[in-house]
Structure 1
């Protein structure tokens, strides 16, 4: 598989409001989407940073800290490589991503390159 860069970063935290405020007010990231317990911020290169509150449904497997997404050109092919290597896949795959657990126990993601 060919990793071409970092493609995404997400954090599930009990301090979601505070982290979202930090990203917006201190780091100066542009808020592009917000709903109850979920914030999306745009980086200048077009990639996203997302914040999930502890109670936000669907990201319960984000249990090890920030989740880095590795950008690849072909997510299905890269997922097939993970599967062949016996890597634990997590959650339901999205149209452009798949989460997995690394050998260190942390959660990571493959994401389609922008």
Structure 2
């Protein structure tokens, strides 16, 4: 598995609106998508920081605080390596990500490299 950097961060919180406001108005991150209980911010390098309200479906496994995504060059191969190592995979894989539980009990993610245009 080749890790090339940190490629994503997501937080599920009861204070999602306050966190989204902080990201946009204090950290001055660029809001690129929003829907009820969900905000996506784009960083200058093209990677995303996402905020999920507790009511947003599909992220119930985000229970340990912010989830960090490790960028990999080959997501299917890296996912196979996690599976072969006996790592607990969480949720359904997405087209560019796979969540997993680390040995410390926290939730992490593998994410495909951002394709810059």
Q: Distance in 2 between matches of 1:30 and 1:113?
A: 20
Q: Distance in 1 between matches of 2:95 and 2:33?
A: 19
Tell me how far 1:74 sits from its aligned partner: 0.6
What's 1:13 paired with? 13
What's 2:112 paired with? 112
Q: Which runs of 5+ in 2 are unaligned?
A: none
Q: Distance in 2 between matches of 1:55 and 1:37?
A: 6
Partner SS, residue 5 of structure 2: strand
Alignment of 1:70-109 (within 5 A): 70-109=70-109
Q: 1:77-113 CA distances to partner (integer Å, 9 max, x unpaired)?
A: 0000000000000000001110000000000000001
Tell me how far 1:27 sits from its aligned partner: 0.1
Q: Distance in 2 between matches of 1:58 and 1:21?
A: 22
Question: When the two structures are superposed, what TM-score results if normalisation uses the length of structure 1?
Answer: 0.99
Q: 1:13-47 CA distances to partner (integer Å, 9 max, x unpaired)?
A: 00000000000000000000000000000101000
Question: When the two structures are superposed, what TM-score results if normalisation uses the length of structure 2?
Answer: 0.97
What is the root-mean-square deviation of aligned Cα atoms in Å? Answer: 0.3
